[in-house]
Structure 1
Amino acid sequence: MQWTDAAAAFAGSYAHLCGYTAPALLDAAGATAGVRLLDVGTGTGTVAALAAGRGTRVTAVDAEPSMVEFTRSRLPAVTVGAGRLPDLDFPDGSFDAVVANFVVNHVADPARAVAELARVSAPGGRVAFTVWPRPAPPLQQLWLDVLDAADLEPAPPTVPDELNFPRTAAGAAGLLDRAGLRDVGGRVLTWEHRTDLDTWWSGAASGMGALGEALAGRDARTVAAARREYERLAGRYVTADGTLTLPTAALLVHGVR
């Protein structure tokens, strides 16, 4: 599993990318002081930390034990525990706001997962989540191009075709409609992720993401060949000072129970 014991590696690579959407996600969920908020798939706690700074009453859950321990040690004032979609161990209507930052794109049954987010939100509460769009923006397409250039097979898709949804703002919002939410809306967030070649490679080298999954268990020669293709293809995004600047985008959708 790509996320097993991956908290430290995630914190040093992909967490910064995923954290970009946190302010807009919390705004969409109405996360203000006193609000009871559930952060599902908290990872290393970026959203939970920002929410706590706003004065919300934060509960954070994640399916991966290393993420739970990392976030618990980082945010001792936040209630952090184990939790996995689509079966959250909370009564109906437990929270005023429920958020999931880049979690729905990792579940096998997105509609059921979003219905669970809605279930644990109180009447009048807000649900908001983010997913990556398709077609893939340049940042995500880079990994796909490296897979192709290195002649590596991507991992099988997480979601069966019959359970999938269009990775567009309308498609993601449709999951909230199906879950019975009202005042549903969505938009595309765009930005440039700034990092460097070594840091960005470290996520894949640790087994995360599409390339990381394909490299898992491969011999050193195969990994080195993939690294060379990565540096070649990523070169077009490296500025004179060595900064790797990757355009990307996310879908943010929200609704009211």
Structure 2
Amino acid sequence: MIETDATAAFDAAERAMWAGRTEAYAGSFGRLCAYPVPALLDAAGVGEGTRVLDVGTGTGTAALAAGERGALVRAVDADPGMVAEARRRGVAAEVAVLPELPFPDGEFDAVVGNFVLNHVGRPRAALAELRRVLRPGGRIAVTLWGARRGAGQELLGQACAAGGAVPPSYLPRLDPDEDFTRTPEGLAGMLTEAGFGGAEADELAWAHRAGVEEWWGGVAAGVGNVGLVVTSQDAETVVRIRREYERLSAVYADGEGLLALPHVALLASATA
């Protein structure tokens, strides 16, 4: 699909949302998003000598894990701050924004994208571009936050609602024409639609363990949509949200000083 005003606005809102939040992301949601990386790399067939592209690398977690397997890794991210941090950690990363990548056709044996399709205004065009840079027979694997959410995923949103938060108008909103069914079947179908073969998808479920302050710290710094909601409120509303968060989070206490927050995500893979 061609770019529309709605997709351009979505991409611009995403760029603004992540700008300057690398450290806050790394200290909060970054650990959450690291969980599926081993399964993601397995699904893409990443091993010794595999030429891998990690798209939407963030702080470089998947790229580093691929490198530890002996893969030859390149990485891209749309946010310069994320790229700088990935480079600091030793990743060969550069700034690039889907659906346009600075690589020739068939450059890679495997492409991985860990929670990146949630953040692009044209997910189908993004998948077509990822297929372009894969060699014939190369593997793609992607993770995505799906329609089914774990109970712990809802915690911060519930605290916002209970605290009387009003979502701001500038939250990223995907063009309905670009949206897709966020189920295993829907994600696998979109990979097939993009020209991949043998698409498979399933759900991953896990309990993310984080401290009360750690889990609050990301949203307090404006990370993610829920972070934009929190940081757009007046001071009194933020106090109410925090109070509700502490009340609601008590049910997830693991008895060892942490919260055990159930999460669900999608993992899909296919062949170019």
Structure 2: runs of 5 or more not aligned? 1-15
Residue identity over aligned pairs, in percent, reads 46
TM-score, normalized by length of structure 1? 0.95
Residue in structure 1 matched with residue 262 of structure 2 by the alignment: 247
Shift of 1:117: 1.3
Cα deviations by residue, 1:105-133 (Å, 9 ceiling, x for unpaired): 11112111111111111111011100011
Count of residues in correspondence between the two structures? 255
Conserved 8 A contact 1:144-1:210 = no
The code of the aligned residue for 2:225 comes to: A
Cα deviations by residue, 1:120-152 (Å, 9 ceiling, x for unpaired): 111110111000111322122112212211222
CA distance in structure 2 between the aligned counterparts of 1:100 and 1:10, rounded to whole angstroms: 17
Instruction: Give the counterpart of 1:90 among 81, 94, 103.
Output: 103
CA distance in structure 1 between the aligned counterparts of 2:105 and 2:165, rounded to whole angstroms: 44
Tell me if 1:121 matches 2:109: no
Shift of 1:224: 1.6
Q: Which moved more, 1:195-204 or 1:149-158?
A: 149-158
Conserved 8 A contact 2:165-2:233 = no
Q: Which moved more, 1:160-169 or 1:16-25?
A: 160-169
Residue in structure 1 matched with residue 13 of structure 2 by the alignment: none
CA distance in structure 1 between the aligned counterparts of 2:227 and 2:213, rounded to whole angstroms: 14
CA distance in structure 2 between the aligned counterparts of 1:146 and 1:210, rounded to whole angstroms: 14
Structure 1: runs of 5 or more not aligned? none
Residue in structure 2 matched with residue 222 of structure 1 by the alignment: 237
Secondary structure of the residue aligned to 2:110 is strand
Structure 1 segments, 4+ long, off by >4 Å, are none
Tell me if 1:148 matches 2:161: yes
Secondary structure of the residue aligned to 2:18 is coil
Tell me if 1:106 matches 2:119: yes
CA distance in structure 1 between the aligned counterparts of 2:202 and 2:271, rounded to whole angstroms: 16
The code of the aligned residue for 2:132 comes to: R
Residue in structure 2 matched with residue 210 of structure 1 by the alignment: 225
Instruction: Give the counterpart of 1:183 among 198, 221, 245.
Output: 198
TM-score, normalized by length of structure 2? 0.90
1:12-161 equivalence runs, <5 A: 12-75=27-90, 78-154=91-167, 156-161=171-176
Residue in structure 2 matched with residue 233 of structure 1 by the alignment: 248
CA distance in structure 2 between the aligned counterparts of 1:158 and 1:37, rounded to whole angstroms: 31
Secondary structure of the residue aligned to 2:39 is helix
CA distance in structure 2 between the aligned counterparts of 1:236 and 1:55, rounded to whole angstroms: 42
